[in-house]
Structure 1
Amino acid sequence: MEQDNQLPFHLWVTAAGTVASAVSITIDHDDLDLIGNALQAVGNGLAANQGHTFSIETAGSLIQASGNTAIIYSLLADLPENEQLSLVIKGNLLQALGGSAAFSGTLTGPSAPYSIYTLNGQLMEVIGNSMQAVGTGKERRGEEGYALNLIGSWIQAGGAVLSALAGSAQLNHEIKDGEHPSFI
């Protein structure tokens, strides 16, 4: 995906959303989780809209945005708790699937000086979303899942921040070297 010498704004919007969601789980505040997932959906939507051609990264961003949308719906709709938790599980699994697609695209794409950080960030996001899905599944069965949700949300947030930092560093590197920015 190409970009016109702009900071990777979509990565920072997504990172802000993941941090907001992690804080919301920490302090048990659904309104902040709503804001966090909305920011993540916007960031992923912006990422999907950056490329001039459809790619696996584009598909991954769209899948992640749909996962965030499922979680947003679970927070806004008046649903029985079991259905709400089911939507949260599906939303987190969709985010993990989309993150896996993005990871795959980065892994097989052109190598860049900061690719290893991007890959680690994407992998952390996939792991975090997966842990949240498992934690919510435990809650749905009446078991203790809060710790998995909490740890998973902070792993996801750390991964999103690492990806945003890597994207910014890569862009700065390319601008400094006079190169046209790559797929950040």
Structure 2
Amino acid sequence: MDARKPYNPDPHAHPGLAAIALLEAGKALLAFLAAAGLEVSGPAPLRTLIDALIRRIGADPEQGAFSTLLGMITPDTVHVGAVVLSAYGLLRALEAWGLWRARAWASWLGCISAALYLPLDVYAIVRHPGWASWLLLAVNLLVVWVLARDLGRRRGTRALP
């Protein structure tokens, strides 16, 4: 008797995929809002925010690399940033749609992209230990596990229990 369950192509049979799809849709929405905010507000508020952050860490925004950074914030670079944020939002929206419809390509995309963040999550824990860093690592590990499990079931084997 085979203990493995056959893969069910019904998207509603995979609540984990639906939850991850909603998470990815939220990321897409935030990326689109950030892109729109950059386009509407222009470089001035961004320069003010970065200047305040530089001063908060006790650095001089008029000298060195920070001065160069502030000088790079122009209307053109703000447009480029908005385009990059829009592209990221589009990728996340596409992944969300695919996961909501239980598409295998979306599980691959989500599993790979979440796994790419894991080293950064570990680095964040080392540099800034705290509950937020651990929570982010736990969420990304859970996403990788759910999507890898989905992909394993599609192959007819159980990659992870």
Q: Classify the TM-score, shorter chain.
A: 0.3 to 0.5
Q: Relative CO higher for 1 or 2, CA cutoff 8 Å, sep ≥ 6?
A: 2
TM-score by length of 2: 0.40
TM-score by length of 1: 0.36
Larger radius of gyration, structure 1 or 2? Answer: 2
